Amino acid sequence: MNLVLYNLFPDRLNLYGDRGNVVALQKRCEWRGIQLTIVDIKSTNDMNLSSVDIICIGGGSDREQGLITKELLKIKKEFQLGVEDGISCLAICGGYQLLGSFYVTSEGTKHMGMEICDFHSIAREDRQVGNILIDTKEFGRVVGFENHSGRTYHPYQPLGKVIKGYGNNGEDGTEGLIYHNVIGTYLHGPILPKNPAITDHIIAAAIERKYGKKELIALDDALEYETKQQAEKICLTLQRG
């Protein structure tokens, strides 16, 4: 089996080790004998969404996010069609915000989003920073690190409920978003190495879309889950924020 992954603008959207998400996907495919071709996208001119299976969008500063938005709006309709067709997508922080209708910076600058989903994000002066732990239906407990001034509000299925930390906005107790095969989240860290169930979900969804439903070969995740458990303990023992 062969899959193609687009890593969007890794030179601009790679805060807090988000490249590690691509590495996690690569290794868990490799260990199963699945060939994953990774393409670093630096211009939308290099994108062919009809041939991609997984898209990763990392986090970036407000400035970088504004520049990337202009690029992504060039392929907005194609991106929307791809999501509706079931492309797997992991969008982190600024990448998550880009899935919505618009994002307003703390200075009041409004950046239009790709309108994959009908939601918006608004930044405030204070940042929501720290280790975060959430409870999810699909993946059990999920751990990560958040550092964002944006507050996101949406009516869609969240990735999970906040146990410790802030999440989407620090108000409604939710974190992230799930829409078709898209996962949007504020969790850096990066999120995938410590949460292999999410990694496998992304791979499995991409394989099902391309080849039909197939069971993934089980891996020995003892080290990953030990790391995750330690991260959970640290998160629960620290003060919020």
Binding-site members for substrate are 127
Identified catalytic residue from 93, 117, 120, 235: 93
Catalytic site includes residue 180: no
Binding residues: 127
The SS3 call for residue 9 is: coil
Catalytic site includes residue 148: no
Contacts (Cβ under 8 Å, ≥6 apart) of 133: 141, 142, 143, 162, 163, 164, 165, 232, 235, 236
Q: Which of 47, 52, 4, 48 lies closest to 25, judged by CA?
A: 4
Contacts (Cβ under 8 Å, ≥6 apart) of 239: none
Identified catalytic residue from 148, 154, 188, 201: 188
**Rounded to an integer, what distance in angstroms lies between the CA atom of residue 99 and that of residue 67?**
15
Catalytic residues: 93, 188
